Amino acid sequence: MFDELTEKNWASSKTVFPESFARQLAHECQRLHDEGQFNKAAIGRGATKTQHAEIRGDFTLWIEENTASPVQRDFLTALSILLQHLNRAFYLGLKRYETHFALYPPGAGYDKHVDNHRGSGARKITFILYLNERWQKEHGGELSLYQPENPDQLITRIEPTLGTFVLFRSDLFPHQVEKSFQPRLSVTGWFRDDAS
């Protein structure tokens, strides 16, 4: 996967996490959502943080070390190891990660955007682990990645199937979540070079 990341600044693999582990995370994600623990996602930050369902329609739950369940802790441990590997391979100076469950209800998507807040470049690598069992092409919900130098030119569309893991440079790629027609689950986050 790192060779692909070196060559293209993005990569996708189904072998980083076992499907059985992704399935455990999927069941946890769905359960926590059903229990009402998710919040409507917003765009922007600080005083400019607002909710716009027509732009971004997902619900999220941040995964925190001090409240993580055993399967969440296993995922956080894997992220810590991956952070070290990324630093060794690419000299990125990554210091931490942040991650959340995301659930898009039917009919929701996320318009084209870049993953760094205006004026900040702290997010270096975006990661996504998809948690959707029995996902079919007609369910939609693909991740569309666009050319950094030509944001209207599509590079690829990645189906959000169970166990698919995606990495890409947060500062480079405009991307969007196409509308899904089934509940669409993932764990999403960022490797960052800031310490807090």
The residue type at 138: E
pLDDT (tens digit per residue) in 51-108: 555 678 899 999 999 999 999 999 999 999 999 999 999 999 999 999 999 999 999 9
- Asked if residue 42 has pLDDT above 80, the reply is no
Mean pLDDT of 24-42: 94
Mean pLDDT of 158-164: 98
Residues 12/165, Cβ–Cβ less than 8 Å: yes
The model's confidence at residue 189, banded by pLDDT at 50, 70 and 90, is very high
Instruction: Provide the pLDDT for residue 43.
Output: 59
Residue-range domains of the chain with CATH:
2-42+53-192 (2.60.120.620)
Contacts with 125 (C-beta within 8 Å, 6 or more apart), sequence order: 86, 92, 94, 167, 168, 169, 170, 190, 191
pLDDT (tens digit per residue) in 108-150: 999 999 997 666 789 999 999 999 999 999 999 999 999 999 9
Instruction: Provide the pLDDT for residue 116.
Output: 78
Inter-CA distances, 110 with 1, 107, 122, 182, Å: 26, 11, 21, 15
- Asked if residue 28 has pLDDT above 60, the reply is yes
Q: Give this prediction's pTM.
A: 0.93
